Structure 1
C-alpha cells in the first residue's frame, strides 16, 4: 500500500489507526504481564508506550476530520465525531484516573470507529449527495 494512497484516503488511514489502537490496547496487558518484574522495579510503563495513545488519537482525529469532509451521510458525520470524542475521553480518563470505567469500553469504541470507516469507505464516499443518503 502506497503512503500517498493512505494520505488521499482518510478512511484507510482511519481503519489503520483505529486498528493499531485496538491492537495496542489488547496487547498492553499481555506485554506488561510478561514484563512484571521490569514494571515493578521501574514503577510505570515506558514513556514511548504511553505516548502511542496520543499518536493514535492524533491520527484518528485527522482521519475523522478528513472523512467527515468527504462523506455524504450527515448522520455518519455525527457518529464519527461522537466515537472519536468517546475515544478521546476514555484515553484522557485513563491517563488522569478521573472516573472508574470498565477497561473493555475502549475496545468497543475502537471497533465501532473501524466499522464506521469501513462502512463509509464502501457506501458513503462520493462526489454527489445522492449516494448514501440514509
Structure 2
C-alpha cells in the first residue's frame, strides 16, 4: 500500500491495465482449460477474486491521486471512472443488466488513461497547488 501513496497514478495505471488484461485473458484461458475437463462454468476462486482485488487496489490509487492532483477536473473524472468500473464488475457478477464486455474494457482503459494524464500533466510541484490543500 505504500506504493499507492508514493506513486498513485503509476500504480493506478498499471492496476487498470492489468485489470483489462485479466478481463481479456479470462475467456481464452478457461475455454482452453476448463471447458475441456469440467464444463465452462467452473473457474478457480482466486481467479474470480482478482476482479475485487483490482477494485480495491484501484480505489486506493484513485483516492491518493485525487488528493495530489493539481487539476480540479481530475477528481470527479477519476471517481466517475472508478465507480463505473465498480458498477460494471459487480453487475457482471450479479447479472443485473446485460452489457457487452467491451464496456468494462473501455472503462478500465479510461481509468488507466486518466491516471497517466494525471501523472504527466497534473502533478503538484509544491504542497500549495493541490486541490485538497488550496
Tell me which interval the TM-score lies in, with the shorter structure as reference length. Answer: 0.7 to 0.9
Q: What does the per-residue CA deviation read over 1:32-88, in whole Å, with 9 as the maximum and x for residues that have no partner?
A: 1111123407x3221010000000000000000000000011111000000000000
Kindly report which structure 2 residues correspond to 1:81-120, keeping only aligned pairs within 5 A, or say none: 81-120=79-118
Count of aligned pairs = 127
Runs of 4+ more than 2 Å apart? 3-7, 127-130
Kindly report which structure 2 residues correspond to 1:20-31, keeping only aligned pairs within 5 A, or say none: 20-31=18-29
Kindly report which structure 2 residues correspond to 1:14-25, keeping only aligned pairs within 5 A, or say none: 14-25=12-23
TM-score, with structure 2 as normaliser: 0.88
Kindly report which structure 2 residues correspond to 1:66-81, keeping only aligned pairs within 5 A, or say none: 66-81=64-79
Could you tell me which runs of 5 or more consecutive residues in structure 2 were left unpaired when the two chains were aligned. none
Q: Distance in 1 between matches of 2:3 and 2:58?
A: 16
CA contact (8 A) 1:7 1:13 kept: no
Query: 1:38 — aligned with what?
Result: 37
Q: Distance in 2 between matches of 1:94 and 1:103?
A: 9
TM-score, with structure 1 as normaliser: 0.88
Q: What does the per-residue CA deviation read over 1:66-123, in whole Å, with 9 as the maximum and x for residues that have no partner?
A: 0000001111100000000000000000000111001110110011011000100011
Q: Give the root-mean-square deviation of aligned CA atoms.
A: 1.8
Q: SS of the residue aligned with 1:104?
A: helix
Q: What does the per-residue CA deviation read over 1:2-52, in whole Å, with 9 as the maximum and x for residues that have no partner?
A: x965541101110111111011011011101111123407x3221010000
